[in-house]
Amino acid sequence: MELHQLTIHELQEKIKSGDVSATQITQSVFSRIDTVEERVHAYIRLLKEEAMAAAAKADESIKKGDIKPLTGIPIALKDIVCTKGITTTCGSHILHNFVPPYNATAVEKLRAAGAVFVGKTNMDEFAMGSSTETSYFGPTRNPWDLERIPGGSSGGSAAAVAAEECIASIGSDTGGSIRQPAALCGIVGMKPTYGRVSRFGLIAFASSLDQIGPFTKDVEDCAIMMNVLAGYDPKESTSVSAEVPDYRQFAGRDIKGWKIGIPKEYFIEGIDTEVNAAIKKAIAVIEQSGGQCVEISLPHTQYCLAVYYIIAPAEACSNLARYDGVRYGLRATDVRDLLDMYKKTRMQGFGAEVKRRIMIGTYALSAGYYDAYYKKASQVRALIKRDFEEAFKNCDVILTPTTPTPAFKIGEKTDDPLQMYLSDIFTISTNLAGIPGISVPCGFTSGGLPIGMQFLASHFEEGKLIQIASAYEKNAKIEKRRPKL
């Protein structure tokens, strides 16, 4: 076993016992990157020098016996979280040269926990996409099949973990951007409750939906990452000061007597038969583990996609107004006047998908349309939230497929935005309701593509998600495979 293949908790033991050093781990990760990154393209920017320096510092701490939860662990950051002094592009031409003078709170927390930052990972431009194909820096490839997409928008962070180019990573999830790529890359990905992990320094796509979360190789690592990331941040008004439990203690607990809700609206036509079969199998595992699966209803499910594609673009068109070429980032040259500068900067700086969403959002907020679109969508959103509140009166967690299909081919859906949007159909409701969700691997297609399953819980019940996901992981005994790269 090479070091880059291991999990956080495995490496921690080796560090504690003195078997390996942080420098060795980091070297192992970078040699893996040297071998596979050219084919995967998980990163926009690698931070090898900084990482080696951080690893050396970590080794000094280790010698002194000062070992924090992530000391010496190579972690990748989605290029949507601001890193002080390190270019942060958000996958966009318009920010290709933006160097933040501050760290995102999540970055600060990871750093304080001893993490070694490997690099900034690729993503759909401004997190708008489900395939990482809209990145200004070119697509990321799925490590399981280089012809296919890794999912998105946090495709780079998911692929980096799956391809063992880091030990864990963070991404952001606005409508499924962590869970969907986690599923398509065969790893664990969690979207925490809205307000659980600070959004400060997370470049905003849709402020009321965005949430930072971890990608890991297994559920225990997810708990370790959540222990570091979760918590109140006075720099964010929507941050919640609810107590943060030790998520790790939920891993390994059984789920005897739990009720698992299976929403009938999520088993629709159009689900890939192999995905369907894998979920059925997973349900059986859950029942064998002592859980009781019950059919539930989330009656407003059919409106989720429509509501999402009004609220998210509306917030986005406002959030992205600051990219005007005045203070930072790209500024078009050869302009006649102010209006011309705005137009050319934004025309050259934004890609097609971002422009599409800015236009949709601008339309939805326009005078005369606001009530019919944004206001109506907000009202339906409240109903969707209530669906979940009702559902959680009758079950502990909800189980659904993460995505309707396994990873599709690069270019397959780029000309058909609606088809692309449908790949988030099972993940979007979570963000609208603000509840937490986790995607865990639940098998492979006959073609060897990973399949993911999603658990959802009530607000601030990330512990329950860790508990059921780890119980499933233990009992399902999914065969350990590594992508052939």
Partner 1 sequence: MEFETVIGLEVHAQMLTDTKIFCGCSTKFGGAPNSHTCPVCLGMPGVLPVLNKKVVEFAMKMALATNCEINKSCEFARKNYFYPDLPKGYQISQYAYPLAEHGHILLDVNGEQTKIGITRIHMEEDAGKLMHDEHNPSSYVDLNRTGVPLIEIVSEPDMRSSEEAADYLKRLHEILVYLEICDGNMEEGSFRCDANVSIRPKGQKEFGTRAELKNMNSFRNVQRALEYEIKRQQYLVENGGTVIQETRLWDDAQGATNSMRSKEEAHDYRYFPDPDLVPILVDETWVEKIRKELPELPLTKRERFIKDYQIPAYDAGVLTADKALANYYEEVVKLCAKPKAASNWVMGDVLKFLNEEKRDIRQCPITAKSLADMIRLIEEGTISGKMAKEIVEDMYKTGKSPQTIIEEKGLVQITDEGELIKTITSIIEANPGQLADYRGGKEKLFGFFVGQAMKATKGKANPQLVNELLKKMLA
The residues that touch partner 1, with contacts defined as CB under 8 A, are 81-82, 88, 90, 95, 98, 100-102, 104, 199-204, 206-208, 234-238, 314-315, 317-318, 320-322, 324, 326-328, 338, 342, 362, 365-367, 370, 374
Q: For 148, which DSSP code? A: B
Closest CB 362 distance from partner 1, rounded Å: 7
Residue 334 falls in which region: left (phi positive, over 0), alpha (psi -120 to 50) or beta: left
Nearest-Å Rg of the Cα atoms of the chain is 21
CB atoms within 10 A of CB 111: 18
Amino acid symbol at 340: D
Q: How far is the CB of 435 from partner 1 (least distance, A)?
A: 17
**Would you state the torsion angle of the CA atoms of residues 187, 12, 194, 426, taken in this order, to the nearest 10 degrees?**
10
450-456, strands of its sheet edge to edge: 43-46, 116-121, 74-78, 168-172, 212-216, 188-191, 437-444, 450-456, 397-401, 259-263, 292-296
Q: Classify residue 28 as exposed, middle or buried by CB count within 10 Å of its CB (0-12, 13-18, 19+).
A: buried
Tell me whether residue 43 or residue 126 sits nearer to partner 1 (CB atom). 126
**Whole-angstrom Cα distance, residue 68 to residue 15?**
11
Least distance (Å) between residue 208 CB and partner 1: 4
Residues 6+ positions from 124 with CB-CB distance below 8 Å: 91, 130, 131, 132, 133, 134, 135, 152, 153, 155, 177, 353
Nearest residue (CB) to partner 1, 78 versus 413: 78
Whether 355 is catalytic is no
Check if 78 is active-site: yes
* Smaller CB separation from partner 1, 162 or 202: 202
The DSSP H or E segment spanning 312 is helix 304-319
Q: Give the active site residue among 28, 78, 289, 470.
A: 78
| Catalytic choice (21, 131, 172, 177) | 177
- Of 153, 172, 429, 439, catalytic: 153
CA 172 to chain centre: 4
Least separation in angstroms between residue 97's CB and partner 1 is 12
What's the DSSP call for residue 393?
T
For tokens 């040297």, name the residue.
34
Of 90 and 398, the one with the shorter C-beta distance to partner 1 is 90
Which residue lies nearer to partner 1 by CB, 81 or 178? Answer: 81
Nearer to partner 1 among residue 248 and residue 381 (C-beta)? 381
- The catalytic residue positions are 78, 153, 177
